[in-house]
Structure 1
């Protein structure tokens, strides 16, 4: 257990990074940081700073800001944060402590980016999420590997619902404080099995499904639209995630790049989501939607891209909605 400064629970916490190819490891660090204090400010390095210290980014600054802002544990995203953490920059935003994982980050000169704040006693360590990084994801693409895939839920859930994974689901399902129950997690088998109980059971649901691989601003945009519609209809957003075998069947190659656990945690950390269903079918039939029990499905969303013919044929046309992407200029 890492040491915690006295009174940190009353402080605004700072965390910074590249947040490139934003994934559940980034969200895990933000969750732990948010649990320590009353607010979380997230500094995001510029494309130029990252290029000078690490190499070119995959995502532009505006895309990385969008990803950070969508994390439910973020209070405010701060663009153009210095690559080497600057206590004066932290002071500008009223953050006495910076949080980082238990690994070392160095700048272009090979020196520890956090040495200055460490020397000042303003550095707090949290556990780094294992087995995930932007480098890992790029490696999977280049190597065309499928070793990360999970078996279908119908065959076995031992790996997906291991003790460690269950703990992750519970942590990522917390509310925006990271301390209380928030989102629901269900497993689709003969019935919808409750993996993590919701903070409050919804009466109405806006349902959206997909692979949500390499969780990105396009996914965030549609989830935000669904959330806005759900708020209007007094409903909750439930996201159905297809398992790895299903995604691979319709995408081919070595897709999905992220496995079901990784994709589900990325969706679960999003502030626009109230619950997820693991192993949702590719075709949302009336029989499947009835598994939500007494809940009333008021909308079923799907994206603007072309899909296989007949996927949504059994969904009531009155509740089926095809969303259109909105490209918004980045301002800061």
Structure 2
């Protein structure tokens, strides 16, 4: 059912959603949708529509638009798309087909949001990314769990390189078509003199000028995106590519405590990889303190950047290539800022979690019925 129509590869594709916390599950859907056609238009629902049909958003419309636009597989972002997919809106934007995951999404009345386009033969299914959703992330904040963390990668780095993870790293490192090689994925093992290549990029790392920035990139948000965009623009003028170091879960938890990071290193790395401003690649298990020896390990690093947050004492003291990124429109945003949004509205989000439970039962019944009708 809902097989790929003939000639879809020549079409502009439509996808829509809330994209609250634009996590790697959303990016995975956009990747698969982009792989099907020649362009991808992404409809983003308004805060009011989401509140009515699902519950309160954590991120507002401007923030969600920023995140979706930063995804390298998105051709154009369409704000205020209706919650129930409207074929007339799709037609206005020249999109004959809509793509969605293999789950059912319902509106406030418990009705399938895609039933109209399904009946018209305009609906195409892709595989939903397992084990991640905005609901899951909100749950981690409310319950303060740490079971999602990876253990010390200096000793247990092979845990990160499972067969499924390797497939995902390869897929998310593709170019803007989702079909060809793009950026690289590397692993830093402290005792080794070379980075371990996980995914080969479409360029020679050692021959390429690079700019480097590192961090946790937890709950990958507009603050991160704006910094990466500014770094990307600076790199472009120097004919360099952006490579991002990502700290492991143990390191972030050591400095931030509680149950941080909310997203583990695998989830955070996919969020960074899907960003159009990261065209060089990522380095997993990057050291908290980048040394000259580590930068030499990477290759021809011509500049090291740091965001507008206060520099931790001694972290960059040996780096003469360092340049600070100035303040920007989302510089008030960090992971704690977002977590506090959730905790300050705990009752509303707990009600959303309950509503999600009720809706999931309705959606299971609809999915079962749909399977019987095939």
If the TM-score is normalised by the length of the shorter chain, which range does it land in?
Answer: over 0.9
State the 1:277 CA deviation: 0.0
Q: Which residue of 2 aligns with 1:222?
A: 227
3-state SS of 1:301 partner = strand
Q: Is the 8 A contact 2:2 2:123 kept in 1?
A: no
Equivalent positions of 1:150-299 (< 5 A) are 150-189=150-189, 190=192, 191-202=194-205, 203-274=208-279, 275-292=281-298, 295-299=299-303
State the 1:152 CA deviation: 1.9
Number of matched pairs: 324
1:175-222 superposed Cα distances (whole Å, 9 cap, x missing partner): 000000001000001120100001112421110000000000000000
State the 1:7 CA deviation: 0.4
Structure 1 residue runs of 5 or longer lacking an equivalent are none
In structure 2, which of residues 295, 316, 319 is the aligned counterpart of residue 315 of structure 1?
A: 319
1:17-75 superposed Cα distances (whole Å, 9 cap, x missing partner): 00001100000000000000000000000011101111111001000000000000000
3-state SS of 2:103 partner = coil
Q: For the residues of structure 2 that align with 1:2 and 1:131, how far apart are their CA atoms? A: 24
Q: Is the 8 A contact 1:21 1:216 kept in 2?
A: yes
**Superposition RMSD in Å:** 1.1
State the 1:158 CA deviation: 2.7
Q: Is the 8 A contact 2:72 2:275 kept in 1?
A: yes
Q: Does 2:328 correspond to 1:326?
A: yes
Q: Does 2:145 correspond to 1:142?
A: no
Q: Which shows bigger deviation, 194-203 or 110-119? A: 194-203
In structure 2, which of residues 300, 307, 310 is the aligned counterpart of residue 303 of structure 1?
A: 307
Q: Is the 8 A contact 1:43 1:78 kept in 2?
A: yes
- Of Structure 1 and Structure 2, which has the larger fraction of its residues in helix? 2
Q: For the residues of structure 1 that align with 2:218 and 2:145, how far apart are their CA atoms? A: 15
Q: For the residues of structure 2 that align with 1:141 and 1:222, how far apart are their CA atoms? A: 25
Q: Which runs of 4+ in 1 moved over 6 A?
A: none
Q: Which residue of 2 aligns with 1:10?
A: 10
3-state SS of 1:165 partner = helix
Q: For the residues of structure 2 that align with 1:117 and 1:204, how far apart are their CA atoms? A: 47
Q: Is the 8 A contact 2:19 2:64 kept in 1?
A: yes
Q: Which shows bigger deviation, 200-209 or 17-26? A: 200-209
Q: Is the 8 A contact 1:204 1:234 kept in 2?
A: yes
Q: For the residues of structure 2 that align with 1:3 and 1:121, how far apart are their CA atoms? A: 10
Q: For the residues of structure 2 that align with 1:248 and 1:307, how far apart are their CA atoms? A: 18
Equivalent positions of 1:51-62 (< 5 A) are 51-62=51-62
State the 1:2 CA deviation: 6.8
